Amino acid sequence: MTRRLAARANARRSVRYDVTTEPTTWQRYFIALGLLAGCSGSSGRNPAPLSPNDVNLIFVVSEDLAFNAPGDIDSTTSNLTDQGLQRSLRLATFLQQQVLGKNNVSHIYALAPTTHLQTAQQYPDMVPLEVIQGFAVLNEITLSSDLLGGTPYTGQNSPINASYAPGSVPSGVVVPTQYCPTCRGLDFADQGGDNEALVTGIVTASVPGYYVFSAPWETISALLVNIDRLGGYGLSLPGTYQGPDHVYALSIAPSGSIALVTYDGNLNPPSTYPALPSPLVSRSCTPPTPSTIEVRSGVGGAVVPATANTNETLYIVRHAEAHPQGYWSDNNYVGAGQWRALDLPNALLGKMAPDQVWSGDPAAFSVGTVSNLGEHYWSAVAPALTVAPYAIANDLPFHLASSLDLSSPSLPQDTRDFFFTGGAFSNHKVLLGWMYTQTSQMIAALIASYFPNGGAPAVPVWSAADYDSIWIVTLDGSGNLLLDFSQCEGIDSSSLPAAAPQF
């Protein structure tokens, strides 16, 4: 059954001053609010929703190993727990209804995960993206749905900007040949003051709307402090972490007056994995031809590569529903995809038992279709956010293939080498969230590597409308190859609601 947001509002004070006489772009004197020490046992009402006529900077504090609510973060993976995911889904509804007043978000900015590595295993920080995705799919965006920039269509999501700023790419991560001009996210290290530059650019543009930032307390608090220092505003900023239910909003009115407003969702999430409001319609698998391919050394000219992994199984799933019409794409999945992503732990139950979850780096970006603002570069967040719920539900570490250049012409061979050679994945079972066209290319490159003199069997076509298939690659103890294309998640795409589930 649908879980409604259980929010008891926290007391707050909101003070607005007219600062139209200030000569600078920011033109403001900030008023900081006194914040309560905790979120339980509070009373009173939250502020009214923010005005769409203002420039609203909204700061959502994601959790990490250093600052979190008890039970929300897995200390071994640094990822959300079931309870943490429950909180994020309830926070999404709270943001949409109580903070934005059901208005549409303008832009969402999240932390680039590899800029904040945690635990001894250096797991990337996926939580800012996981926290804000439930909110992202409650919004709408209009994009072209053909490759010429025409045929506008309004889809149920918002893109999430999570790409690297120049100079912020961590060691071991591929440096892009160019940086995304419109999809830059936040940097945990804030190298070169790139976070402040991002926020200052929004304020300078002075376009009314809602600009949401999702990042850990360390990033949010440092951003506010540095803006205060750069502007010489003398802010009385919140000095301590108040919990994951607090949302801070800086609202700049057309007159130039400023208000810093605090909202408290006062959420009380259960500790169990989220249950969807209604069951999904199942479907049977429709295997392609051929449904399996077996490659054994010495058969038909096949030779196992000397560097091939052994005793490896890779389960490949496509990102959830992302193209509601034609080529429409902002590299995030749409509302229908949220149903699939949240149901993935149930859909895959009994079909696999991976010990790791992988995807491409959400900070990577590519060209999609064009928005009404002329944007057409988008951070590639959909594959990671599709398999993230599975990692959460099964307490599995989440890894990013961030050393792969997704725009490289050699990507099929690079991806093949990354996952199937060198021994890193030997004796492992891995769930991989990927893109369907690149999956076909990777598998074709893998098979070709077993046939040095040619004659490799052809890989079946993964249909553009198919979000349900599971391709399974198995390398046995000698490196012999078995490809199974006959499996599926069993979720009927055509029956998924266009609107994302609300909690």
Question: Which tens digit of pLDDT belongs to each residue from 449-482?
Answer: 999 999 999 999 999 999 999 999 999 999 999 9
| 131-163 confidence digits (pLDDT tens) | 999 999 999 999 999 999 999 999 999 999 999
- More confident: 233 or 300: 300
Rounded average pLDDT over 261-287: 96
For residue 114, give the DSSP letter.
Answer: G
Other Cβ atoms closer than 10 A to 278 = 11
Burial (CB count within 10 angstroms: exposed 0-12, middle 13-18, buried 19+), residue 142: middle
| More confident: 29 or 102 | 102
Burial class (CB in 10 A: 0-12, 13-18, 19+), 378: buried
Give the pLDDT confidence score for residue 18 in this predicted structure.
32
- pLDDT confidence band for 233 (50 / 70 / 90): low
* Location of structure tokens 């504090």: 61
Check pLDDT > 90 for residue 358. yes
Half-sphere exposure in the Cβ direction for 52 (13 Å, CA)? 8
pLDDT of 231 reads 66
Helix (H) or strand (E) holding 489: none
Global pTM value: 0.91
141 CB-near residues (< 8 Å, 6+ apart): 104, 154, 155, 157, 158, 159, 330, 371
How far is 412 from 43, CA to CA, in rounded Å? 57
Domains and CATH numbers, the chain: 17-39+54-142+153-264 (3.40.50.1240), 292-495 (3.40.50.1240)
Question: Which tokens sit at 386?
Answer: 């599709």
Q: Residue 259 — pLDDT band, cuts 50, 70, 90? A: confident
Mean pLDDT for 379-383 is 98
386-403 residue pLDDT tens: 999 999 999 999 999 999
What is the pLDDT, as a whole number, of residue 26?
Answer: 38
Which residues, 6 or more positions from 21, have their beta carbon under 8 angstroms from its beta carbon? none
| 252 within 8 A of 55, measured Cβ to Cβ | yes
pLDDT at 32: 33
Share of the chain above pLDDT 70, in %: 90
Maximum CA extent, the chain: 82
Share the mean pLDDT of the chain.
90
CA distance 428 to 352: 12
Q: E strands of 362-500, at which residues?
A: 365-367, 377-379, 398-400, 429-434, 469-475, 481-488
Taking residues 307-322, what's their average pLDDT? Answer: 98
Instruction: Assign 41 a pLDDT band (cuts: 50, 70, 90).
Output: very low
The tokens for 314 are 């890779």
Q: Tell me: the pLDDT tens digits for 245-255?
A: 999 999 988 98
In what order do the strands lie in the sheet containing 16-17? Answer: 16-17, 258-264, 246-252, 55-62, 209-216, 107-110
Q: How far apart are CA 362 and CA 385, in angstroms?
A: 9
Whether 407 shows a pLDDT value over 50: the answer reads: yes
How far lies 260's CA from each of 214, 248, 287, in Å? 17, 7, 56
What pLDDT does 10 receive? 32
Grade residue 260 by pLDDT with cuts at 50, 70 and 90: confident
In the chain, what percentage of residues exceed pLDDT 90?
Answer: 84
pLDDT computed for residue 77 by the predictor: 97
Res 498: pLDDT: 97
Going by pLDDT thresholds of 50, 70 and 90, the confidence category of residue 232 is: low
Long-range contacts of 204-208 (CB under 8 A, 24+ apart): 204/25, 206/55, 206/252, 207/55, 207/106, 208/52, 208/53, 208/54, 208/55, 208/254
What's the whole-number mean pLDDT along residues 192-218? 95
Alpha helices, DSSP H, located in 237-368: 335-347
Of 107 and 14, the one with more pLDDT: 107
Beta bridge mates, 381 = none
